[in-house]
């Protein structure tokens, strides 16, 4: 097999190398997957530098999100959910490789009509957007929703979910191309969050200037968003892509009766496993109804593990939109 192996922490993605390794031997409770596509994530950039909260012991294989074909099912299971040859997507350490091992709960079936590239970017962003807006924000038809970094992977997922539930979406982004992408995925209005006074622009778009009902924030823009959130509004904090942990003006929260709620999708499996199935049921229904589509960055192609460093570099420089996904060619014997 071939893989992007980290033997020592690196300065950045430009230092990553592809290595030839022995084929994986799955444990009795894991599937062996032939990887056909691998998606990039911001946490990959932290992990390769040794700055992420989950750091495997060196050496390890980078990447965590993928899609591919089952090569073997767990030997310990008499009734595995997936069989050899099934198309799956999932999340497990070691996604930047031609093979990966994964537990059953970390895998999902590739939706009918979807390719590997589209499915590879589903496992993290789609349920994050759905859980944030549907479970935590309790989004309702007719509401106004402000989605920050709307052209990013989780942002485009949120845009589609909000529209599917009948909301009017105001999308923030930082470039003309990203405004275009947000509109292509359903956003009704776009705002440049680099512009001074953007919160006032948001308020003017809403009925009677009351502000938005829901804010979806993966960036760290709560303080400014409070200025354009309606009385009784809800702000869902999904991440801190800007790199700063905010100190929030709690007097504004009190005076406007605003609810602040955090969303860490990764802990749902441990703390609320019964809701994980509910979230995926909702997402697969939206996919079936053609209200949710893949968010793969298509302005250029990444093909081969050698391009992982390029994809991560562009992601870090904010030069991509949606999910930057790498196609992973397989040898003939692994294609099935």
The pLDDT, as a whole number, for residue 245 is 84
Cα–Cα distance measured from residue 271 to residue 55, given in angstroms and rounded to the nearest whole number? 22
| pLDDT tens profile 268-283 | 988 999 999 999 999 9
The pLDDT, as a whole number, for residue 266 is 86
Cα–Cα distance measured from residue 318 to residue 6, given in angstroms and rounded to the nearest whole number? 23
| pTM of this structure | 0.93
Mean pLDDT of 146-167: 97
Does pLDDT of 7 surpass 50?
yes
Does pLDDT of 336 surpass 60?
no
Cβ(289)–Cβ(316) under 8 Å? no
Token pair 């990039």 in the structure block, residue: 40
Burial 306-333 (b: 16+ CB within 10 A, else e): ebbbbbbbbbbeeebbbbbbbbbebeee
Query: Which residue, among 201, 190, 194, has the nearest Cα to 151 in the 3D structure?
Result: 190
Give ∠ CA 91-96-97 in degrees, rounded to 5: 105
The pLDDT, as a whole number, for residue 124 is 92
Does pLDDT of 332 surpass 90?
no
Query: Which residue, among 96, 41, 206, 226, has the nearest Cα to 237 in the 3D structure?
Result: 226
| pLDDT tens profile 281-326 | 999 999 999 999 999 999 999 999 999 999 999 999 999 999 999 9
Kindly report the backbone phi and psi dihedral angles of residue 316, in degrees, each rounded to the nearest multiple of 5, phi listed first: -65, -35
Does pLDDT of 333 surpass 60?
no
Cα–Cα distance measured from residue 42 to residue 331, given in angstroms and rounded to the nearest whole number? 29
| pLDDT tens profile 53-104 | 789 999 999 999 999 999 999 999 999 999 999 999 999 999 999 999 999 9
Helical (H) or strand (E) element with 68: strand 65-72
The pLDDT, as a whole number, for residue 335 is 42
Query: Which residue, among 192, 181, 186, 153, has the nearest Cα to 169 in the 3D structure?
Result: 186
User: What confidence category does residue 241 fall into, taking pLDDT thresholds of 50, 70 and 90?
Assistant: confident
CB neighbour list of residue 136: distance below 8 Å, 6 or more residues apart: 234, 236, 261, 263
Does pLDDT of 242 surpass 80?
no
Cα–Cα distance measured from residue 236 to residue 216, given in angstroms and rounded to the nearest whole number? 5
User: What confidence category does residue 334 fall into, taking pLDDT thresholds of 50, 70 and 90?
Assistant: very low
Q: What is the mean pLDDT of the chain?
A: 95
């Amino acid at each position: 097999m071939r893989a992007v192996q980290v033997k020592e922490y690196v300065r950045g993605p430009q230092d990553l190398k592809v290595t030839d390794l022995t084929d994986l031997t799955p444990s009795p409770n894991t599937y062996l997957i032939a990887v056909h596509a691998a998606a990039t994530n911001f946490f990959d950039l932290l992990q390769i530098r040794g700055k992420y909260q989950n750091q495997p012991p060196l050496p390890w294989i980078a990447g965590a999100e993928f899609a591919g074909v089952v090569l073997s099912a767990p030997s310990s299971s008499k009734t595995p959910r997936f069989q050899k040859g099934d198309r799956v997507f999932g999340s497990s350490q070691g996604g930047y490789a031609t093979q990966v091992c994964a537990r059953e709960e970390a895998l999902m079936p590739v939706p009918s009509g979807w390719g590997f590239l589209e499915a590879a970017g589903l496992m993290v962003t789609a349920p994050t957007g759905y859980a944030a807006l549907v479970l935590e924000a309790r989004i309702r038809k007719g509401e106004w929703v402000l989605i920050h970094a709307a052209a990013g992977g989780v942002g485009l997922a949120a845009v589609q979910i909000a529209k599917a539930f009948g909301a009017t979406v105001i999308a923030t982004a930082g470039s003309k191309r990203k405004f275009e992408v947000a509109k292509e995925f359903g956003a009704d209005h776009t705002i440049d969050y680099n512009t001074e006074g953007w919160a006032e622009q948001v308020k003017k778009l809403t009925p009677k200037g009351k502000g938005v009902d829901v804010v979806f924030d993966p960036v760290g823009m709560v303080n400014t968003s409070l200025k354009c959130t309606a009385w009784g509004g809800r702000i869902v904090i999904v991440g801190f892509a800007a790199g700063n942990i905010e100190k929030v003006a709690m007097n504004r929260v009190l005076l406007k009766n605003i609810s602040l709620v955090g969303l860490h999708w990764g802990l749902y499996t441990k703390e609320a496993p019964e809701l994980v199935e509910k979230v995926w049921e909702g997402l697969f229904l939206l996919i079936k109804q053609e209200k949710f589509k893949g968010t793969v960055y298509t302005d250029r192609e990444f093909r081969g593990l050698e391009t992982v460093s390029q994809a991560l570099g562009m992601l870090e420089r904010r030069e991509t939109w949606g999910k930057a996904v790498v196609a992973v060619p397989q040898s003939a014997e692994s294609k099935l």
